[in-house]
Amino acid sequence: MAPRRILIDTDPGQDDAVALLTALASPELDVVAITTVAGNVPLPLTSRNARMMVELAGRTDVPVHAGCPRPMVRTLYTAEYVHGPSGIDGAELPEPTIPLAPGHAVDVLVDTVMAAEPGELTFCTLGPLTNVAMAIVKEPRIAGRLAGLVMMGGGFFEGGNVTPAAEFNIYVDPHAAHVVFTSGVPITMLPLDVTHKALTSDARIARFRSLGTRAGDAVAGMLDFFDRYDEEKYGTDGAPLHDPCVIAYLLEPSLFAGRRCHVDIEHHSETTMGMTLVDWWGVTKRDPNALVIDTVHADGYFELLVDRIGRLR
Ligand code: RIB
Ligand code: CA
């Protein structure tokens, strides 16, 4: 079976970094390009961090294109309080040597989709949806040409992680999320409702460290750092490993389950700004616009991640 062709839009972030390494280590996926967006940390850092992961994976064949430095309407809100000042604290890696690839991420997203056959490409988003929304505004036809968009973002029964109502990726750019969720692109949404069931633990992190490789050590170091904020916030032994759920879903969808729902994005009220209103019970009778995932086989998820990271040096 031919590898699935994907583009990954990301704001690394330790969890993004693990997702990138997993994708780059998986022969089932053809990572056509990586595009970076402002989110966890400002764009220069997310672009630095993505290039560091490409080099760590030995995949400098994959271009990294920088995208939007701020949300479509709101000012940028970042999360150094979670990820540290670099965005990937705990990684202990050298600065990247490869340059950014020429071309703005928004143009690359549009041009790549328009040059491909309909249904050939899948977008994977791990951060705020600014780049993808701007691409849809620039060339609305891409929504109908994509095989799908698989995204980490939102929350419903789990509420939010930035405000009681809003998860970070949607909160940062709710207007972009509104554009994407009303574009008609086939969406698979992996919200906090599923990622909060995929918790790291000392034992699970030790599995990465036991690989005895640079990649395994980098993942263990990043997760040790990344865990501390959510462990203190939620009082759990471990933190939700959000973004690799997107890649794991593509690799082994049988690890996940959910249902098709209509999802609205709050982009007016400051009180609930960025809320993903998931019509889980179908009470609005509105046509579903997303497959909303709420279940994961956590052991299988971490087995998959260890197996893939274990393929890197
Ligand atoms: O809410 C979790 C999401 O926000 C993850 O993508 C994390 O990397 C941050 O971007
Ligand atoms: Ca992210």
Number of domains in the chain: 1
143-182 pLDDT tens trace: 999 999 999 999 999 999 999 999 999 999 999 999 999 9
Confidence check: pLDDT of 275 > 90? yes
One-letter amino acid for residue 146 of the chain: L
Closest ligand 1 atom number to CA of residue 83: 8
Closest ligand 1 atom number to CA of residue 243: 6
Of 195, 242, 246, 249, the residue with max ligand 1 atoms within 8 A of its CB, to mutate for a pocket test, comes to: 242
In this prediction, residue 136 carries a pLDDT of 98
For the chain, the first-to-last Cα distance in angstroms comes to 26
CATH number at residue 104: 3.90.245.10
Q: What pTM, to 2 d.p., does this model score?
A: 0.98
Q: What is the mean pLDDT of residues 192-210?
A: 97
pLDDT bucket at 236, cuts 50 / 70 / 90? confident
Confidence check: pLDDT of 245 > 90? yes
Q: pLDDT over 70 for what percent of the chain?
A: 100
Is residue 199 helix, strand or coil?
Answer: strand
In this prediction, residue 17 carries a pLDDT of 98
Token output for 30: 């053809």
pLDDT bucket at 120, cuts 50 / 70 / 90? very high
| 297 in active site | no
pLDDT bucket at 228, cuts 50 / 70 / 90? confident
How far is Cα 267 from Cα 230, in angstroms, rounded to an integer? 26
pLDDT bucket at 24, cuts 50 / 70 / 90? very high
Q: Which domain holds residue 9?
A: 4-309
Per-residue HEC secondary structure of 21-52 comes to HHHHCCCCEEEEEEEECCCCCCHHHHHHHHHH
Write down the mean pLDDT value for the chain: 97
Of 130, 169, 172, 225, the residue with max ligand 1 atoms within 8 A of its CB, to mutate for a pocket test, comes to: 169
- Give residue ranges with CB within 6 A of ligand 1: 11, 13, 15-16, 39-40, 126-127, 152, 161, 167-169, 242-243
Closest ligand 1 atom number to CA of residue 152: 6
Alpha-carbon Rg for the chain in angstroms: 18
In 3D space, the residue among 108, 5, 113, 94 whose CA is nearest the CA of residue 51 turns out to be: 94
In this prediction, residue 1 carries a pLDDT of 87
In this prediction, residue 32 carries a pLDDT of 98
Closest CA to ligand 1's atom 1 = 168
How far is Cα 170 from Cα 156, in angstroms, rounded to an integer? 12
In this prediction, residue 119 carries a pLDDT of 98
